[in-house]
C-alpha cells in the first residue's frame, strides 16, 4: 500500500423514483495508482484516526454534501410533521409536491458535488461494493464538456431527428456507447466509464436514443412534437438540418458590460454580453449558436440559426483591452494595474460616457442594497478657525 485516499462512490437508489445516484465517501488504499479494498467510511473521526488531511480542502465541503445526502438525513429533513420514523423516503416521495422539493434540493447539492470533484480530479467510482476492489468500478474524469447536436432530416413520412454529443472533434452517437445519467440538470453523465458534463441540455432528453439512433415523427404529429419536445431545447443546442432551409444570422447588433462579483477572487469584474438581435451570448460562455424553429404559411418548417462571430467579438474585446482592461482566465474583464477589488467601478466611472455614446449598455450591481452612482464627485473639506482671545485653533 503506497498511500490512502478519499474516494467517492456514486450509489444508485432504484427504489427511490427520481433520485439520482447519491455519493458516499470512503477511505481507500492506493497501490501503484490503483484503488484497493475499502478501509473505512470517510468521516471526520475516521480521517483523523488515519491522519488523512481534509480540512481547508475541497474534501471538507464534499464530505458535508455526502453527509447531507444520506437517506436517513433526507428522511429527517423532509418527513412531514406528525409522521412516524417508519415513514421513510420512499413514502415521502409519493407526495408530488414534496418530491419536487426533495429532488430540487438533491440536484442543487449534486451540482456543487460534481463541480468540486471534477475540478479537483478526485477518485470517483460507481456502485462499488465493499467486497470489490474499488479500481474495478473507477470512473475517469472527462477533460472536455460535451456539446449536444440536434439533427433534423426531412423524409417523405415526416421528420427524423436524433441527438449526438460532440467531444471536441469526436462525435458520440449515444446508441453506440454505454451511457448512464448521473444528474439531469445540470447534466452529468458517464460515457464508457468516463464522467462528462453536457452543455445546455437536460440529460433525460438523451434517453430515447440509448436504444435507437433516430426517432421518426409522422407528418400529422410534427407540430405537436416540435412544440412540446423540440422548441424547449433547440435554442440552446447546435442544429443540423437536412432537407430544410436554414436562415443564418451572424451580426453583432450591440454589446453590454455587466459588472459582477467574482466570488472566488472576491473582486468585481466585467462580463461582456454580445447581442445578436434575437439571441445574446456571454463572452465567457461555451455556447456557440442559438436556433429557433417555426412553421411557415404552408406548414413548412423554417429554421433560424444565430451563430457567434468570434472575429467580431475579438475586435470588441481588443478595444476594451486598449482601455486598460485585461481578460482573465475565466474570460471576464478586470483592470490591468489595480489590485483594489472595486477598481472596475473607477474604470466604469472614467469610461462610461464614451461607452454610452457608442451605444454600450452598462449594467451595475447593487452594493449593500444601494445603487451605484457614476456621476463625477469630489469631496471638499474646509477648515474653520475659532478665535479665542489672541489664540486660534483649527
Tell me the per-residue pLDDT of 275-309, one tens digit each, with 9 for 90 and over.
998 889 999 988 888 888 877 666 677 788 898 99
CA distance 203 to 183: 7
DSSP sequence for 308-374: --HHHHHHHHHHHHTTTEEE-TTS-EEESS---TTHHHHHHHHHHHHHHHTT-EEE---BTTBPPP-
Q: Tell me the per-residue pLDDT of 251-272, one tens digit each, with 9 for 90 and over.
A: 999 999 999 988 777 889 999 9
| pLDDT, averaged across the chain | 88
Question: Are 35 and 7 spatial neighbours (Cβ–Cβ below 8 Å)?
Answer: yes
pTM of the complete model: 0.74
What pLDDT does residue 376 have?
A: 55
Could you give phi then psi for residue 198, rounded to 5 degrees? Answer: -110, 135
pLDDT tens for the chain, 394 residues: list them. 579 999 999 999 999 999 999 999 999 999 999 999 999 999 999 999 999 999 999 999 999 999 999 999 999 999 888 788 788 899 999 999 999 999 999 999 999 999 999 999 999 999 999 899 999 999 999 888 999 999 988 888 888 989 999 998 899 999 999 999 999 989 999 999 999 999 888 999 999 999 999 999 998 888 888 888 888 888 788 888 888 877 888 999 999 999 998 877 788 999 999 999 888 999 998 888 888 887 766 667 778 889 899 999 999 999 999 999 999 988 999 998 888 889 999 999 999 899 989 889 999 987 666 666 655 544 344 455 444 444 444 4
What pLDDT does residue 220 have?
A: 86
Amino acid at each position: 500500500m503506497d498511500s490512502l485516499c478519499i474516494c467517492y462512490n456514486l450509489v444508485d437508489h432504484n427504489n427511490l423514483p427520481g433520485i439520482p445516484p447519491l455519493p458516499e465517501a470512503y477511505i481507500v488504499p492506493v497501490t501503484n495508482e490503483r484503488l484497493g479494498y475499502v478501509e473505512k467510511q470517510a468521516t471526520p473521526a475516521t480521517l483523523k484516526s488515519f491522519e488523512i488531511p481534509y480540512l481547508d480542502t475541497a474534501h471538507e465541503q464534499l464530505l458535508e454534501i455526502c453527509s447531507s445526502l444520506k437517506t436517513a438525513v433526507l428522511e429527517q429533513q423532509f418527513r412531514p410533521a406528525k409522521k412516524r420514523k417508519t415513514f421513510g423516503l420512499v413514502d415521502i416521495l409519493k407526495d408530488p409536491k414534496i418530491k419536487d422539493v426533495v429532488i430540487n434540493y438533491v440536484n442543487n447539492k449534486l451540482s456543487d458535488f460534481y463541480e468540486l470533484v471534477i475540478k479537483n480530479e478526485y477518485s470517483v467510482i460507481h456502485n462499488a461494493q465493499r467486497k470489490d476492489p474499488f479500481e474495478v468500478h473507477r470512473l475517469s474524469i472527462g477533460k472536455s464538456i460535451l456539446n449536444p447536436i440536434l439533427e433534423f432530416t426531412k423524409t417523405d413520412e415526416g421528420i427524423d431527428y436524433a441527438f449526438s454529443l460532440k467531444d471536441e472533434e469526436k462525435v458520440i452517437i449515444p446508441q453506440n456507447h454505454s451511457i448512464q445519467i448521473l444528474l439531469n440538470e445540470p447534466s452529468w453523465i458517464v460515457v464508457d466509464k468516463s464522467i462528462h458534463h453536457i452543455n445546455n441540455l437536460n440529460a433525460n432528453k438523451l434517453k430515447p436514443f440509448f436504444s435507437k439512433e433516430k426517432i421518426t415523427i409522422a407528418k400529422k404529429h410534427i407540430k405537436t412534437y416540435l412544440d412540446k419536445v423540440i422548441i424547449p431545447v433547440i435554442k440552446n443546442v447546435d442544429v443540423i438540418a437536412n432537407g430544410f432551409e436554414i436562415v443564418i444570422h451572424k451580426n453583432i447588433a450591440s454589446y453590454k458590460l455587466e459588472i459582477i462579483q467574482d466570488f472566488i477572487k472576491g473582486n468585481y469584474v466585467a462580463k461582456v454580453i454580445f447581442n445578436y438581435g434575437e439571441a445574446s451570448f456571454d463572452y465567457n460562455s461555451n455556447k456557440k449558436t442559438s436556433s429557433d424553429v417555426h412553421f411557415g404559411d404552408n406548414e413548412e418548417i423554417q429554421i433560424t440559426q444565430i451563430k457567434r462571430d468570434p472575429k467580431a467579438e475579438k475586435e470588441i474585446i481588443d478595444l476594451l483591452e486598449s482601455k486598460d482592461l485585461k481578460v482573465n482566465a475565466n474570460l471576464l474583464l478586470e483592470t490591468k494595474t489595480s489590485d483594489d477589488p472595486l477598481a472596475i467601478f473607477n474604470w466604469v466611472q472614467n469610461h462610461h460616457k464614451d461607452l454610452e455614446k457608442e451605444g454600450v449598455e452598462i449594467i451595475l450591481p447593487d452594493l449593500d442594497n444601494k445603487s451605484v452612482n457614476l456621476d463625477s464627485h469630489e469631496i471638499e473639506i474646509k477648515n474653520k478657525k475659532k478665535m479665542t482671545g489672541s489664540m486660534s485653533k483649527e
